[in-house]
């Protein structure tokens, strides 16, 4: 009887889930393995399949579906499963794969292996940024850069149990794309770190809106590289960062809805002209905002 109950809960979840989230998510099937004879116990998988929305590609965001009571370890990192059985995760720019996802159910562990499609990133030469943001920084500036980096890392480290990310994402700004995720950046002739954001060019003062609901985690008027910097947390480690802003319209701790005005476009920090640089993170893993928009569009 208990087993039947578990299956019914699973079926209920399936219906709820299909209603709530992006269409492609299908719930996993629970195999009533306890009913099998002992030799079948060895053959029958505990979790038949693990369903993901998203794409197994470098830079991708993924949302998995399992049972709320499961414990999930994604690529060595323990992830929190939402009350509806979802979990969010992501693949970094240079992940080689295969990525192992471990599911622990009723004390039994099962592993799934996923190959990761490799991408080739272009080289983008950016000339005309302030030379001070390209040359080796002085000790004093280095201290500043490090303390700002710490603030950003802390803001992205929270694991707020809000499922804002499940409602999908909209573009925070319409405009020409002038920079993409992953490209190798050469500033004023000097190779620097890859570019992790989606650059959208618009005049200074153009309003940037929230791509999804969330809570404002960090507001900083002038960081050395990123200038006016804003971080909005969409729950379970998924966050948006907006940089080079001229003005920030929201305060830390405030809750925002998708489409709310957040800030104004600027050219602060290491920038050649006014544009929004929008970044998406899963904790410290940098994801491609273009893939987030493509595979997790908000329902109209
Ligand atoms: Zn950028």
Q: How far is the CA of 105 from the centre of ligand 1 (A)?
A: 42
Q: Domain for residue 62, yes or no?
A: yes
Q: How far is the CA of 216 from the centre of ligand 1 (A)?
A: 21
Same domain, 149 and 266: yes
Q: Is the pLDDT of residue 28 over 70?
A: no
Looking at the structure, do residues 235 and 142 belong to the same domain, yes or no? yes
Answer yes or no: do 87 and 138 share one domain. no
CB atoms within 10 A of CB 123: 10
pTM of the model: 0.83
DSSP 266-288: B--SS-SSSBEEEEEEETTEEE-
- Among 114, 145, 166, which residue terminates a domain? 114
pLDDT higher than 50, residue 65: yes
Q: Name beta bridge partners: 198.
A: 278
* Residue 131 and residue 276 in one domain: yes
Across the range 75-79, mean pLDDT stands at 96
Query: Which residue segment(s) compose the domain that 218 sits in?
Result: 123-295
**pLDDT of the residue at 49:** 75
Mean of the pLDDT values across residues 95-110? 94
Domain-terminating residue out of 114, 131, 155: 114
Q: Looking at the structure, tell me whether residues 187 and 102 fall in a common domain.
A: no
Residue 300 lies in a domain: no
In this structure, are residues 121 and 184 in contact, taking their beta carbons and an 8 Å threshold?
Answer: yes
Lowest mean pLDDT among 61-65, 73-77, 136-140: 136-140
Phi, psi at residue 239, to the nearest 5°? -140, 160
Say if 145 falls within a structural domain: yes
The CB density around residue 218, as the number of other CB atoms within 10 Å, is: 19
- How far, in Å, is the centroid of ligand 1 from the Cα of 1? 57
Averaged pLDDT for residues 18-25: 38
| Mean pLDDT computed over every residue of the chain | 87
Question: Is 214 a member of any domain?
Answer: yes
CB atoms near residue 114 (< 10 Å): 16
67 and 20 within one domain? no
Across the beta sheet with 61-65, what order do the strands follow? 51-54, 61-65, 86-90
Distance spanning both ends of the chain, measured CA to CA? 42
Q: Do residues 224 and 205 both lie within one domain?
A: yes
H/E element, 167: none
Instruction: Tell me, yes or no, whether 55 and 37 share the same domain.
Output: no
Domain check: are 37 and 102 in the same one?
A: no
Residue 32 Cα, ligand 1 centroid: separation in angstroms? 50
**pLDDT band, very low/low/confident/very high, at 287 (cuts 50, 70, 90):** very high
CATH number at 238 reads 2.70.70.10
Last residue of one domain, picked from the residues 71, 87, 114: 114
SS3 106: coil
Cα 189 to its chain centre, rounded Å, is 31
Region 115-135: mean pLDDT is 89
Q: Please report whether residue 287 resides in a domain.
A: yes
pLDDT-derived band at 41, boundaries 50, 70, 90 = very low
- Asked if 110 and 244 sit in the same domain, the reply is no
Residue 263 pLDDT: 98
Given this model, what pLDDT does residue 38 score? 45
Average pLDDT rounded to a whole number, residues 16-33: 40
Percent of the chain with pLDDT over 90: 73
- Strands of the 123-126 sheet, one edge to the other: 123-126, 184-187, 190-194
Higher pLDDT, 135 or 56: 56
Same domain (yes/no): 226, 158? yes
More confident residue, 276 or 135: 276
Same domain for 168 and 213, yes or no, is yes
Q: 169 with 293: CB under 8 angstroms?
A: yes
Give the count of domains, the chain. 3
The answer for residues whose C-beta is within 8 angstroms of residue 89's C-beta and 6 or more apart is 61, 62, 63, 64, 74, 75, 77, 79, 282
Cβ count near 20 (within 10 Å): 13
Quote the ligand 1 centre to 277 CA distance (angstroms): 4
The pLDDT tens digits for 130-158 are 888 888 889 999 999 999 999 999 999 99
pLDDT digits (tens, 9 = 90+) for 183-215: 998 888 888 889 999 999 999 999 999 999 999
Secondary structure (3-state) at 65: strand
Per the domain annotation, does 268 fall within a domain? yes
- Name residue 47's beta-bridge partners: 30
Q: What's the confidence (pLDDT) of residue 229?
A: 98
């Amino acid at each position: 009887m208990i087993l039947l109950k578990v299956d019914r809960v699973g079926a209920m979840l399936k219906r709820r889930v299909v209603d709530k989230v992006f269409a492609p998510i299908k719930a996993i099937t629970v195999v009533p393995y306890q009913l099998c004879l002992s030799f079948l116990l060895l053959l029958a998988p505990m979790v038949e399949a693990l369903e993901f929305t998203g794409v197994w590609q470098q830079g991708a965001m993924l949302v998995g579906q399992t049972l709320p009571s499961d414990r999930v370890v994604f690529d060595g990192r323990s992830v929190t499963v939402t009350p509806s059985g979802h979990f969010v995760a992501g693949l970094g720019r240079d992940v080689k794969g295969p990525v192992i996802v471990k599911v622990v159910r009723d004390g039994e562990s099962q592993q799934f292996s996923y190959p990761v499609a490799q991408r080739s990133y272009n080289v983008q030469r950016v000339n005309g940024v302030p030379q001070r943001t390209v040359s080796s920084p002085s000790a004093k500036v280095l201290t500043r850069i490090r303390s700002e980096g710490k603030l950003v890392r802390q803001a992205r480290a929270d694991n707020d149990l809000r499922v804002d990310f499940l409602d999908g994402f909209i573009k925070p700004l319409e405009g020409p794309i002038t920079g993409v995720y992953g490209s190798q950046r050469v500033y004023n002739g000097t190779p620097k770190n890859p570019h992790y954001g989606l650059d959208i060019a618009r005049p200074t003062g153009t309003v940037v809106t929230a791509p999804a609901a969330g809570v404002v985690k960090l507001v900083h008027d002038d960081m050395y590289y990123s200038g006016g910097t804003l971080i909005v947390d969409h729950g379970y480690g998924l966050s948006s960062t907006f940089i080079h802003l001229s003005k920030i319209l929201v305060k830390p701790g405030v809750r925002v809805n998708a489409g709310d005005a957040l800030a104004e476009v600027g050219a602060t920090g290491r920038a050649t002209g006014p544009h929004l640089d929008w970044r998406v993170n899963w904790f410290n893993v940098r994801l491609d905002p273009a893939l987030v928009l493509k595979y997790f569009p908000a329902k109209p």
